[in-house]
Amino acid sequence: MPISDVLRRQITNFTYGQVISILLVCTNIFTNKLQRNDALVVTFSTTFLYVFLALVCIPYYYIKRCKSVDLPWWFWLLFGLIDVEANYWSVAAYKVNANYAILGLILHLTIPIVTVLSYFFMGKRYNWFHFVGCFFAIGGVCVIFGASTGDYSDEYPNQMKGNLKAVLAACFYALSNLLQEFAVKRKDTGLDANIECLGKMGFTGTIVSVIQMACIGEYGRVRDVSWTGANVGWNVGYVLTMFAFYLTVSVFLRVTESLLFNISLLTSDLYSALSVMWIFDGVVPHLYWLAWALECVGITIYSVYEPVDLKKHTEESVAIETPADDAKEVYQKA
């Protein structure tokens, strides 16, 4: 491949990664604005995300007559439920007046959790790079928990509560990622599988969100909020950036490696910390930078090698060995 093509590809990948980083930071800013205006209704803020995903992806899927991954209805209901809860607890973490830069670091627990789940349920096998990377990432989370209990806690008295909700969100995000990976890799349908996943997850996610709003009494909360132009704008901004984030990530992971995706998440943490200091005049504890450095090291080490997919490896081995076996059989008959 010519050097110019390689350079063009790397520039494209870098641009995708930075777009993802900016989208993540924007969702954090919009959520923080809503929280400060007492206009953050957790499930309500994410319901429109699923509505948009369903309205955009499902018609595209059927108009283009995309190939289906052929999964039962209950799988999509489970997928939608888990993704709704992931976003619910993520937004709920911000609602308790917590520093979102710290919460962003804690959400990186998704990577170690996915590693464990993939080992048992997806047949993936890891080497020592992955385990060392997870060790550093978990170490960074432990450091940031320590920073939340120091003098810094005076400014954000509910930071620990927000941290715990972020951990719960990371667990749900890990399950959601696992289900999406299972669906996408079930059949080799290319980007069509991602579109189908987003559309059907958006449809079931909408149903789950509407039911959840009724169960936890959010409809009354929606009526009580002062829906000024600013608050409506922050909600619209949050929904649109999350919608763009879901679509961009689906395309990004199809055209690039997971290393660049994980690095883009780390740059979003840096942007989040800067936005806390420059936009909201907040304080980022010194231990934040130590935790960020540990997670940079951990995620970079983790991403050096892709984990081995035993199922895929076995299928490739069979495909390679079969022609040789056929030739041997023909030779013996001859």
pTM of the model: 0.81
Res. 202: pLDDT tops 90: yes
Range 41-67 average pLDDT: 90
Q: Which amino acid is at 24?
A: L
- Of the candidates 90, 95, 30, 101, the one whose C-alpha atom is nearest the C-alpha of residue 283 is 101
**pLDDT over 90, % of the chain:** 27
Can you tell me the distance from the alpha carbon of 114 to that of 186, in angstroms, rounded to the nearest whole number? 18
Contacts of 314 (CB under 8 A, 6+ apart): none
Can you tell me the distance from the alpha carbon of 239 to that of 233, in angstroms, rounded to the nearest whole number? 10
Can you tell me the distance from the alpha carbon of 318 to that of 314, in angstroms, rounded to the nearest whole number? 6
> How far apart, in Å, are the Cα atoms of 218 and each of 33, 49, 90?
19, 17, 17
pLDDT tens readout for residues 77-133 = 999 999 999 999 998 888 876 676 777 777 778 878 887 888 887 777 778 888 888
Range 142-168 average pLDDT: 75
> How far apart, in Å, are the Cα atoms of 97 and each of 38, 94, 158, 225?
10, 6, 6, 17
What value does the mean pLDDT of the chain take? 80
Q: How many CA atoms lie within 13 A of 16 on its CB side?
A: 23
pLDDT the model gives residue 98: 66
DSSP helix/strand/coil, 283: coil
CA geometry: angle 330, 332, 334, nearest 5 deg: 70
Q: Any alpha helices (H) in the chain, and if so which ranges?
A: 3-36, 42-63, 73-95, 100-106, 110-121, 128-147, 159-184, 191-215, 218-224, 229-255, 258-278, 286-302, 310-333
The answer to whether 91 and 168 have CB atoms below 8 angstroms apart is no
Res. 244: pLDDT tops 70: yes
Count Cβ atoms within 10 A of the Cβ of residue 128 and give its class: 0-12 exposed, 13-18 middle, 19 or more buried: exposed
User: In angstroms, how far is CA 54 from the centroid of its own chain?
Assistant: 18
pLDDT the model gives residue 322: 42
